């Protein structure tokens, strides 16, 4: 059976099991954040929430608030040529990097993904106060999907990471 040809009752069961509570953000991978930021802020009216950096996996980014909703938009750029993001951009060019959903429980989301016939990419990862799991683009038809839950409530000040982009270096 094709992944996208599931019977309706089965899809309903999976939707309930994965536990998506909201769309958190969409991420665009670019060579230089500051080159595309004016398009999003000046033309589209997004506002910068903050800048962040993850030296563990080698990226910098900007979190933006999208007018009229609760979802956010994120820009990522590689820190250097050793970053997975640098390799991503070399292979695919700038564009959609990932879509992130908040879920009730990352372990249950991973279980739902497995039950659907897909191995969660990297299992369930915990760190930075979040638990998260992924569907690899090879398994989804081209998009990296991230499912996260904040396990340790905390405030996001301007100096903190405003993203949930804690991707592993392994090919994302």
| pLDDT tens column, 127-155 | 889 999 999 999 999 999 999 999 987 55
Least confident of 24-33, 49-58, 155-164: 155-164
What average pLDDT does the segment 61-82 reach?
94
Please report which helix (H) or strand (E) contains residue 101, including its range.
Answer: strand 95-103
pLDDT value at residue 76:
97
Please state the CATH superfamily assignment of the domain spanning residues 22-95 in this structure. Answer: 2,3-Dihydroxybiphenyl 1,2-Dioxygenase, domain 1 (3.10.180.10)
pLDDT value at residue 152:
84
Phi, psi of 27 (to 5 degrees): -120, 135
Share of the chain above pLDDT 90, in %: 72
Query: Radius of gyration of the chain from Cα atoms?
Result: 16
Domain ranges for the chain, please list them. Answer: 22-95, 103-152
Q: Is 63 exposed, middle or buried (0-12, 13-18, 19+ CB in 10 A)?
A: buried
What average pLDDT does the segment 56-79 reach?
94
């Amino acid at each position: 059976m094709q992944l996208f040809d599931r019977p309706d009752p089965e899809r309903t069961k999976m939707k309930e099991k994965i536990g998506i509570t909201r769309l958190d953000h969409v991420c665009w991978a670019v060579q230089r954040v500051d080159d595309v930021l004016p398009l999003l802020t000046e033309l589209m009216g997004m506002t910068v929430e903050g800048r962040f950096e993850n030296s563990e996996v080698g990226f910098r980014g900007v979190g933006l608030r999208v007018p009229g909703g609760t979802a956010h938009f994120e820009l990522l750029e590689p820190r250097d040529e050793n970053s997975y993001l640098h390799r991503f951009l070399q292979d695919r060019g700038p564009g959609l990097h990932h879509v992130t959903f908040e879920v009730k429980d990352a372990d249950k989301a991973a279980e739902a993904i497995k039950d659907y016939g897909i191995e969660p990419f990297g299992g369930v990862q915990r760190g930075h106060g979040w638990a998260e799991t992924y569907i690899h683009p090879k398994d989804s038809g081209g998009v990296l999907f991230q499912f996260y839950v904040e396990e340790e409530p905390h405030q996001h000040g301007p100096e903190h990471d405003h993203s949930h982009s804690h991707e592993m270096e392994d090919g994302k």
